[in-house]
Amino acid sequence: MQLLFTILLDGLVYASYLFIVAAGLTIIFGVMKILNVAHGGFYAWGAYTAAYFIGAASEMGLPDWFAFLIIAGSALAVGIVLGLLIERIVLRRLYDHEEILIVLATFGVFLILEDLILLIFGVNPYFAYQPMVALGSVEMGGIFRDVYSLTLFGVALSVAAGSWWMLTRTRWGKLITAVIHDREMALIVGINVRRLFVVTFCAGAVLGALGGAYIAPTVSVAPGFAVDVIVLSFAVVVIGGMGSIPGALIGALLVGLLRALAVHKLPELELFVIFLVMSAVLIVRPEGLFAPAKARKI
């Protein structure tokens, strides 16, 4: 029973930050039709920036709550700066290219971002446990859990609610929905698709960076730590249906819980299970579980 509870809790925590990262990925895909491999770079940069400044702030004796400002600030700064740069320098040249080539270009960007981290932050891991230590831990049903991880639920839920509100209740959201549905028609009726792309890409990048920045205090931020997450959030997005926020939520829960189950019960099957589920979903429902409707072509 306790084990079940642990698995559930672990799974939900993991699902929360997978969702934050995957939401960014899926928004970018939905609007721009770009499978953004560089998302892993946003994640890693968010984590490194947050870890670096949390460490610096702690040395300067700033209060612990300041770390949360740093996390939010890192996510915004990294997302907007990298988002703008990459959209302008790389993506803008490629919008009329084949999808696959754009994926490869973002893969190139990912590799560059990874090595830039090595060159700037070095190869040694960064630790930023201060916020996690500051919040302490609580006992729930006989198991101890750090409060910091639990706040992740709040962040994930806010992201879910916020993006739902954005997409259904605001003008921008309706434009985005129109573009997701039929990009050509959106162009014809005069939606400024280019500007929408820039905003979407930056928003997605901020979410990717936020995932990294928020996870930073709970792990050792070391080279290559983004790879796992990015591969799994791809699985999340593919399972849920590329371009669907509710899909990302369901996908994240599924992958998060499965992974927690595998880690505790069958550690040898961890990666295997998730890719197996992804293959199964793709085979049964090629577009994912919740793919948005598409305009007809002929």
Partner 1 sequence: MTDVPILSVKDLQKSFGAVTAAKDINVDIPAGQVVGVIGANGAGKTTFVNMVTGYLKPSGGTIRFRGRDITGIAPRLAVHQGLTRSFQVSQVFMTLSVRQNLLSALALARRKGGALLRPIAGPELLAECDAIMARYGLTDVAEHEASALSQGSRKLLDIAMAVVSGPRMLLLDEPTSGVAAEEKFAIMDTVMSALKASGTTVLFIEHDMEIVERYVDRVLAFFSGEVICDAPPARALIDPKVRELVIGDTRAPTAPTAATGQAEAAYA
Partner 2 sequence: MLHAILSDKTVRLTALALLALAAAGLMLPAWVVNNMMFGLARGAAVLGLLVLWRTGLMSFGHGLYFGLGAYAVALSEHWLGLSDFALRILAAILVAVVAGFALGFILRRYRDIFFAMLSLAFSMVLYGILVKTEALGSTDGFSVSQTTFLGWAPEGKQVLFTAIITVCLALAVLVQMYLRSTLGRLTTAIRDNEIRVEYLGYSVARAIHIKYVISAALAGGAGGMMAMALGQVDPDSMVYWTVSGELVFITIMAGPGSVLAPFIGAIIFEFLRTYAFEIAPHAWQLIVGGTLLLIIFFLPGGIWSLLERIPFFRRLRHD
Q: Residue numbers of the site for partner 2 (CB under 8 A)?
A: 35, 90, 93-94, 97-101, 103-105, 107-112, 114-116, 118-119, 123, 231, 234-235, 238, 242, 268-272, 275-276, 278-279, 282-283, 286, 298
Closest separation in Å from C-beta 243 to partner 2: 11
According to DSSP, the residues that pair with 139 across neighbouring strands are 144
Q: Are 14 and 251 in contact (CB under 8 A)?
A: no
d(C-alpha 211, C-alpha 67), whole Å: 15
Residues between 266 and 295 that touch partner 1 (CB under 8 A): 293-295
Name which of partner 2, partner 1, none residue 294 binds, using a CB cut-off of 5 to 8 Å depending on partner kind.
Answer: partner 1
Q: Which of 93, 91, 69 is nearest to 82 (CA)?
A: 91
Binding of partner 1 by 298 (CB under 8 A) = yes
Pick one of 182, 198, 227, 257: the residue that binds partner 1 (CB under 8 A).
182
Please give the span between the terminal C-alpha atoms of the chain, in angstroms, as a whole number.
Answer: 55
What lies within 8 Å, CB to CB, of 196 at 6+ separation is 31, 172, 175, 176, 179
Question: How far is it, in rounded angstroms, from Cα 117 to Cα 124?
Answer: 11
Q: Which does 112 bind (CB under 5 to 8 A by kind): partner 2, partner 1, none?
A: partner 2
Q: How far is CA 102 from CA 150, 216, 247, in A?
A: 37, 29, 23
295 DSSP assignment: -
Q: How far is the CB of 112 from partner 2 (least distance, A)?
A: 4
Of 231 and 291, the one with the shorter C-beta distance to partner 1 is 291
Q: Which does 219 bind (CB under 5 to 8 A by kind): partner 2, partner 1, none?
A: none
Q: Of partner 2, partner 1, none, which one sits near residue 134, judging by CB under 5 to 8 A according to partner kind? A: none
296 binds, among partner 2, partner 1, none (CB under 5 to 8 A by kind): partner 1
Dihedral angle computed from the Cα positions of residues 216, 219, 223 and 225, in that order, rounded to the nearest 10 degrees: -90
Interface residue with partner 1 among 33, 181, 183, 264 (CB under 8 A) is: 181
CB of 48 to partner 2, least distance (A): 15
Q: Return the one option of partner 2, partner 1, none that residue 141 interacts with (CB less than 5 to 8 A, by type).
A: none
Hey, what are 11's tokens? Answer: 């799974």
Of 122-130, 177-185, 210-218, 269-277: span binding partner 1 (CB under 8 A): 177-185
Question: Phi and psi (nearest 5°) for 288?
Answer: 90, 175
CB 298, min distance to partner 2, A: 7
CA dist., res. 234 & res. 27, Å (int):
13
Distance CA 156, CA 253 (A): 11
Q: Tell me how far, at minimum, the Cβ of 11 lies from partner 1, in Å.
A: 35
| 109: amino acid identity, one letter | V
97 scored as a contact of partner 1 (CB under 8 A): no
Structure tokens of 177?
A: 């929905």
Which residues of the shown chain bind partner 1 in the complex (CB under 8 A)?
181-182, 185, 293-296, 298
